[in-house]
Structure 1
Amino acid sequence: MLDQILCIDDDPITLMLCKKVIIKCAFSNEIITSQNGEEALSYFNNIKTASNQNKVIQHPQLVFLDLNMPVMGGWEFLDYFSSSEFSEFHNIKVVVLSSTIDPEDLQNAKKYPMVIDFLSKPITQSMLEYLKNKME
């Protein structure tokens, strides 16, 4: 079981379903949510600030990321998150969770070393089992 997961999606129903499936499968102890990439980057900046003040703050081991969101979408988030500014978080795995089936998006996801998979919404129990095995 993971300690913490971050779900980044602008759709409250998707976030609610994500939480329900993750809880049902006992996949993570804690689920944090952000409604867009900018909110998620702000969350990681808060962790960095706290650690600079010698406070130990847990950070997610896995991120579920939607691609199409207002304010800051998934690709833009990945561009920022994979930069040296966030290098202390580059061990965090990212799973793109999207409703798109565009082969170009699948190819684009492979450019980011932290992206371990590209799955279609909605998240399911079998997806979590698959990810559990993949991350071991």
Structure 2
Amino acid sequence: MLHRILCVDDDPITLMLYKMVIAKSSFTEEIITAKNGQEALEYYDNLKINNDCCCPELVFLDLNMPIMGGWEFLDNFTKDQYAPFNTKTKVIVLSSTIDPNDIENSKKYPMVIDFMSKPITKEMLEGLKERL
């Protein structure tokens, strides 16, 4: 079981469903949510300010969000200021469409370990448990 994960998605219903499925599968002790990439980066900024070394081990990241999308989040998250976190945190990109270009683009980011289709399922989490 993971200690903490971060779910980044602009749809509140999707976030609620993620929380339900994740809780039922005993995948993590704590679920943090963010509505967009900027909010997710602010979460990491607060961890740094508070010297909280317990960052999420895994991020479920949507790509298409207002304010800051998934690609912009990844571009920023790879910067040196997030180095204490981006080496410890794995990212799974979740998308409602599986565009081969998006899959290929996600491979440019060392923290991205997979590209999966929405929604999260219990079976998906069981497979991830074995990999993580």
The TM tier, using the shorter chain, reads over 0.9
The match for 1:130 is 127
Is residue 95 of structure 1 aligned with residue 95 of structure 2?
no
The match for 1:5 is 5
The match for 2:101 is 104
Unaligned stretches of 5+ in structure 1? none
Q: TM-score, normalised by structure 2?
A: 0.97
| 2: CA distance, partners of 1:83 / 1:100 | 27
Name segments (4+ residues, structure 1) moved above 3 Å: none
The match for 1:63 is 59
Provide the identity percentage.
Answer: 63
Q: Structure 1 counterpart of 2:78, which letter?
A: S
Q: Structure 1 counterpart of 2:27, which letter?
A: F
For 2:47, what is the secondary structure of its paired residue?
A: helix
Q: For residues 68-83 of structure 1, what are the structure 2 equivalents within 5 Å?
A: 68-83=64-79
Equivalent pairs counted in the alignment come to 131
C-alpha displacement at 1:58, in angstroms?
2.4
Unaligned stretches of 5+ in structure 2? none
The match for 1:119 is 116
Q: TM-score, normalised by structure 1?
A: 0.94
